[in-house]
Amino acid sequence: MADNAVLSRRSLLKGSAAAVGAFTLGFSIPFTEAQAQGATPEVNAWVVIHPDDRIVVRIARSEMGQGTLTGLAQLVAEELEADWSKVSWEYPTPGENLRRNRVWRNFATGGSRGIRDSHQYVREGGAAARIMLVQAAAKEWGVPEGECRAAKSVITHTPTGRTVTYGKVAAAAAKLDVPKEVKLKPASEWTIAGKSVKRLDTVDKLNGKQVYGADIRLPGMLNAAIKACPVFGGTLASFDAAKVTGMPGVKKVVQVDRRTVAVIADHWWQAKTALDALPITWDNGPHASVSSETIAATLREGLDAEQAFEGNKAGDAKGAIASAAKRVEATYSYPFQNHACMEPMNATALWTPEKCEVWCPTQNGESALAAAIEASGHPAAKCDVYKVHLGGGFGRRGRSDYVTQAVLIAKQMPGAPVKLLWSREEDMLQGTYHPITMARLVGGLDKDGNLTGLHMRISGQSILSGVNPQGLQNGRDPFVFQGLNPGGQEGPFGYGIPNLLIDHAMRNPHVPPGFWRGVNLNQNAIYVECFMDELAHAAGVDPLEFRRRMMKNTPRHLAVLEAVAKGIGWGSPSAPGTAKGLAQIMGFGSYVAAAAEVSVSNAGEIKVHRIVAATNPGHVVNPDQVAAQVEGSFVYGLSAAFHQECTVKNGRIVEENFDTYPAMRINEMPKVESILVPSGDFWGGVGEPTIAVAAPAVLNAIFAATGKRVRSLPLKNADLRRA
Amino acid sequence: MASLNVNGRVVEIDAHPDTPLLWALREQAGLTGTKYGCGIAQCGACTVHIDGEPVRACSVTLGSLNANQKVVTIEGLSPDVSHPIQKAWLQLDVPQCGYCQSGMIMAAAALLAKKPKPTDADIDEAMTNICRCGTYNRVRAGIKLAAGI
């Protein structure tokens, strides 16, 4: 219920953003007024310059490890002509954004959109500030603006050689009119953007000083531990607070909402100890008998269902398959998975009759603010959210359920800040899961081994149905077709097949779905790229050559595939006992491919020896950070492929911690050889797309090594022992 | 009340003897650099040194320790980010979100103290911490850089 309210508010916010228009320099408050608000010497909303020349760039998106804050600061600094060594950063609050007519626009950080969605307006912010600084200097000197140039935070009057630093003219610049139009530098002239500068946020992560949400400490702060009904759809029937109220440190046992109870104590360990001792009775609700098996049966039914939403269609796929020389069919399945951020969900809230303040790690500051407003009962003007760095996000922290809970708890302790921290177990049981799907693929080959028809039926869960049903398009969830679309940023299908049908039978189990790093591209890349490999083998054609034949009109997809093929040495003999596999896909605005070399022992143990990845994200803002994202994406993707599965029993998730839900560790992880092939003519994302090609490249290599085709993930369930 | 030797000084901790060292450090000693990730000694985010040995602080109780045992946390590894592991981490931009890195750095520092020139197999054996951002390639490179190999 609360979530729907949050979403409707978020939709409202989105609507107002659209109304602002495509090109506005967002400086709605007169600078004098902004200056009067505090001592912050801001030139404009994006750029603060102190008298001693220190520059603070305002970052609206959230940093969760992906490097977006450094990249965005590079883009602003580039146009500002800043001295990079003087640049630091700060987060504006979502409340300030509302009060200033959304001057920083969108705070949402997901879908690998941090840079690709905001590069234009943040660069314009930097350029506008530079123009104003130059104008201020020219005015002071009484010289034409055109005779002055800016570089490395210094303005020079070229004819006289006279100079002044940004810090000296910032206050005067802030009083000038905002330029109506600004011209941006071409990427070929970049000196800060496009370079592998060091991250701005590393040092405090090396000495324990970085404050994450879990580390927040406020005067008089209390701590809360929480349990919601582990069966989705169930409620809290009763609890016996008297049994734990005398335990050390315990202040209060509170019902949070219909399905949730929390213990508030001086310290979190005390709260958790008391919560574990608290007698709780759950009403497990209507889904208490659902299991992984019943869910699988529902999805299997969808594979043959008459009704399905179309995602991509050309010619007559079913007819072409019926008349094909050879028919190939395979069914794949992919499990629920939890994001398992290293830092469990948490938020700290202070509620008084006058105001509500929240400190939290969030991927969406404005959604967190909307949640705080809704739960607090206060008007927007009396609420704010202070963002802190995230100990991982991966999509989970785009939801604000934990913010709502923190405020509802704090409301029962007026005047005392309360930090709510989920246990790992709570985090595993109350996830919003990578959606469960199956796919049946049927292909028709002609006598020369060409694919003449393909039908791909996806059956399973829709994220939008669970997260934002208003976003469905006549019931259809466009996210389901990521990487399989006829065109667009979210994945044009890479293969030209004369007769094609990709459709989706929506089957929504009661387990809540969510955006999980890589979203639907992950499952789709496995289904398509492994089946392409199956078709190639059925046709007796080399898997790279088989794909090439269908990629004449998708040269960018092909280019990254060729790059990894070359990198892994495709076509040349593999080291004894090893074999190679390939995969490619397009999504999040970028083209990606991977090649893997693996071996499988007689006992069935898989070892990945090499991984080669190629990425074309168009523009690259920081090559070293793109490489870091690609390296990390393989760990995330291969952790999922090898180990991770959330199973369902009696309506709830079975796996509660890393002992039963393992993640890859260093001993399993080979070096990732990352090849960047930026074409420089578009802006794609890099935080997610490569995850999708990790698993299919390895799965195809496993087939090449063993002749065994694994079609059901994770790999831990597959028996690869040699007979 | 328990006495602990943390980062070279004795601190008095007012907590139940069953309290895990992790929570005594975070909540009583105010040292939040040591992180909670799983509570069952799986992830290593809470790794500290006890008498030089890497230990998962979530699984050691306060009552099992005495003031003669030297506990070192990430805050006490060096006064100024000057430990070779910290310097290598900075040079290679190892951390992404950084939440696991306190534990990762403490595990790596303990490894180097014991084996100044670790092999890949030594690294595999000693570095069992989980990183969900996937910094493993750079963790390995960072250890080698710090070791000068």
What are A202-257's pLDDT values in tens digits? 999 999 999 999 999 999 999 999 999 999 999 999 999 999 999 999 999 999 99
DSSP one-letter string for A537-565:
HHHT--HHHHHHTT-TT-HHHHHHHHHHH
Contact in structure between A230 and A207 (CB atoms under 8 Å)? no
Of A215, A217, A342, the CB nearest to B37: A342
Give the percent of chain B with pLDDT over 90.
99
Could you state, in order of their start, the residue ranges of all structural domains in chain B?
A: 2-76, 84-147
Q: How far apart are the first and last CA of chain B?
A: 46
Could you say which of A421, A446, A479 is where a domain stops? A421
Position A208 in a domain: no
Bridge-partner residues for B71, per DSSP? B6, B50
Domain with A161 in it: 2-199
Set of chain B residues whose Cβ sits within 8 Å of the Cβ of A624: 93
Contact B32 A268 (CB under 8 A): no
Q: Is A305 helix (H, G, I), strand (E, B) or coil?
A: coil
Contact B38 A424 (CB under 8 A): yes
Whether residue B93 lies within 8 A of chain A, CB to CB, comes out as yes
**Cis-peptide into A509, omega within 30 deg:** no
Best of B23, B36, B82 to disrupt the A interface (most A CBs within 10 Å) is B36
Contact A248 B19 (CB under 8 A): no
What are A167-181's pLDDT values in tens digits? 999 999 999 999 989
Class of the domain covering B2-76: alpha beta
Give the mean pLDDT of A646-662. 98
Query: CATH number for the domain including A710?
Result: 3.30.365.10
Q: Is A453 helix (H, G, I), strand (E, B) or coil?
A: strand
Task: Tell me the C-alpha distance between B52 and B56, whole Å.
Answer: 13
Position A722 in a domain: no
Tell me: pLDDT of A11 over 80. Answer: no
Among residues A531, A512, A511, the alpha carbon closest in space to that of A439 is found at A531
Give the mean pLDDT of B91-114. 98
Letter string b/e over residues A400-425, b meaning 16 or more CB atoms within 10 A of that residue's CB: bbbbbbbbbbbbbbeebbbbbbbbbb
ipTM of the complex: 0.98
What are A480-534's pLDDT values in tens digits? 999 999 988 888 999 999 999 999 999 999 999 999 999 999 999 999 999 999 9
Position A89 scores a pLDDT of 97
Distances in Å between the Cα of B126 and the Cα atoms of B46, B95, B106, B108, B144 are 15, 19, 11, 8, 14
Position A205 in a domain: no
Tell me: pLDDT of A30 over 60. Answer: no
Bridge-partner residues for B5, per DSSP? B10, B70
Position A49 scores a pLDDT of 98
Task: Tell me the C-alpha distance between A223 and A217, whole Å.
Answer: 10
Q: Do A37 and A145 reside in the same domain of the chain? A: yes
Of B20, B75, B93, the CB nearest to A202: B93
For residue B58, give how far its alpha carbon lies from the nearest alpha carbon of chain A (Å): 11
For residue B70, give how far its alpha carbon lies from the nearest alpha carbon of chain A (Å): 18
Bridge-partner residues for A441, per DSSP? A330, A456
Tell me: pLDDT of A26 over 60. Answer: no
Q: What phi, psi does A371 have (nearest 5°)?
A: -65, -40
**Chain centroid to CA A492:** 20
Could you say which of A353, A386, A421 is where a domain stops? A421
Position A206 in a domain: no
Q: Do A135 and A265 reside in the same domain of the chain? A: no
For residue A527, give how far its alpha carbon lies from the nearest alpha carbon of chain B (Å): 24
Q: Do A53 and A96 reside in the same domain of the chain? A: yes
Position A40 scores a pLDDT of 67
For residue B25, give how far its alpha carbon lies from the nearest alpha carbon of chain A (Å): 11
Token pair recorded at residue B79: 């006064």
Contact A206 B86 (CB under 8 A): yes
Contact B135 A394 (CB under 8 A): no
Q: Do A483 and A546 reside in the same domain of the chain? A: yes
Set of chain A residues whose Cβ sits within 8 Å of the Cβ of B93: 198-199, 202, 624-625, 628
Q: Do A326 and A397 reside in the same domain of the chain? A: no
Position A412 in a domain: yes
pLDDT category of residue B78 using cuts at 50, 70 and 90: very high
Whether residue A623 lies within 8 A of chain B, CB to CB, comes out as no
Q: Do A506 and A604 reside in the same domain of the chain? A: yes
For residue A228, give how far its alpha carbon lies from the nearest alpha carbon of chain B (Å): 18
For the beta carbon of residue A149, count every other beta carbon within 10 angstroms. 12
Q: What letter would DSSP give residue A618?
A: B
Task: Tell me the C-alpha distance between A106 and A97, whole Å.
Answer: 9
Q: Do A442 and A394 reside in the same domain of the chain? A: no
Position A37 in a domain: yes
Among residues A350, A366, A535, A376, the alpha carbon closest in space to that of A456 is found at A535
Q: What letter would DSSP give residue A691?
A: H
Token pair recorded at residue B23: 């929570």
Position A169 scores a pLDDT of 97
Whether residue A212 lies within 8 A of chain B, CB to CB, comes out as yes
Contact B98 A248 (CB under 8 A): no
Position A15 scores a pLDDT of 30
What are A599-627's pLDDT values in tens digits? 999 999 999 999 999 999 999 999 999 99
Whether residue A390 lies within 8 A of chain B, CB to CB, comes out as yes
Best of B97, B130, B144, B145 to disrupt the A interface (most A CBs within 10 Å) is B97
- For B:17-36, CB contacts with A below 8 A are 18-20, 23, 26-28, 30-36
Whether residue A474 lies within 8 A of chain B, CB to CB, comes out as no
Position A49 in a domain: yes
Position A34 scores a pLDDT of 38
- When the pLDDT of each residue in chain A is averaged and rounded to a whole number, the result is 94
Task: Tell me the C-alpha distance between A594 and A561, whole Å.
Answer: 7
Of A41-45, A369-373, A417-421, which range is least confident? A41-45
Tell me: pLDDT of A24 over 60. Answer: no
Position A41 scores a pLDDT of 86
Tell me: pLDDT of A5 over 80. Answer: no
Whether residue A422 lies within 8 A of chain B, CB to CB, comes out as no
Cα dihedral angle (A443, A446, A449, A452), rounded to 10 degrees?
A: -50
Of A10-19, A82-91, A435-444, B95-104, which range is least confident? A10-19
For the beta carbon of residue A182, count every other beta carbon within 10 angstroms. 17
Contact A632 B38 (CB under 8 A): no
Q: Do A254 and A354 reside in the same domain of the chain? A: yes
Whether residue A66 lies within 8 A of chain B, CB to CB, comes out as yes
Determine the topology of domain B84-147 in CATH.
Answer: DNA polymerase; domain 1 (1.10.150)
Whether residue B89 lies within 8 A of chain A, CB to CB, comes out as yes
Set of chain A residues whose Cβ sits within 8 Å of the Cβ of B32: 208, 211, 214-215, 217
Position A180 scores a pLDDT of 86
Could you say which of A177, A199, A221 is where a domain stops? A199
Contact B95 A665 (CB under 8 A): no
Position A39 scores a pLDDT of 56
Whether residue A206 lies within 8 A of chain B, CB to CB, comes out as yes
What are A264-305's pLDDT values in tens digits? 999 999 999 999 999 999 999 999 999 999 999 999 999 999
Number of domains in chain A: 3
Q: Do A312 and A446 reside in the same domain of the chain? A: yes
Token pair recorded at residue B87: 């310097």
For residue A169, give how far its alpha carbon lies from the nearest alpha carbon of chain B (Å): 34
CA atoms within 13 A of residue A371's CA, in its CB half-sphere: 27
Q: Where are the beta strands (DSSP E) in A59-110?
A: 87-90
Instruction: Please enumerate in sequence order all residues whose Cβ is within 8 A of that of B13, keeping only pairs 6 or more positions apart, or say none.
Output: B1, B2, B3, B4, B24, B28, B29, B62
Task: Tell me the C-alpha distance between A117 and A205, whole Å.
Answer: 28
Set of chain B residues whose Cβ sits within 8 Å of the Cβ of A634: 134
User: What is the Cα gyration radius of chain A?
Assistant: 27
Tell me: pLDDT of A21 over 70. Answer: no
Q: Do A582 and A454 reside in the same domain of the chain? A: yes
Cα dihedral angle (A552, A556, A558, A564), rounded to 10 degrees?
A: 170
What are B24-43's pLDDT values in tens digits? 999 999 999 999 999 999 99
Q: What is the pTM of this model?
A: 0.94
What are A304-313's pLDDT values in tens digits? 999 999 999 9
What are B3-21's pLDDT values in tens digits? 999 999 999 999 999 999 9
Q: Do A248 and A176 reside in the same domain of the chain? A: no
Token pair recorded at residue A26: 């967002």
Token pair recorded at residue A375: 């739960």
Position A451 in a domain: yes
Q: Is A267 helix (H, G, I), strand (E, B) or coil?
A: coil
Q: Do A282 and A301 reside in the same domain of the chain? A: no
Cα dihedral angle (A50, A56, A60, A66), rounded to 10 degrees?
A: -170
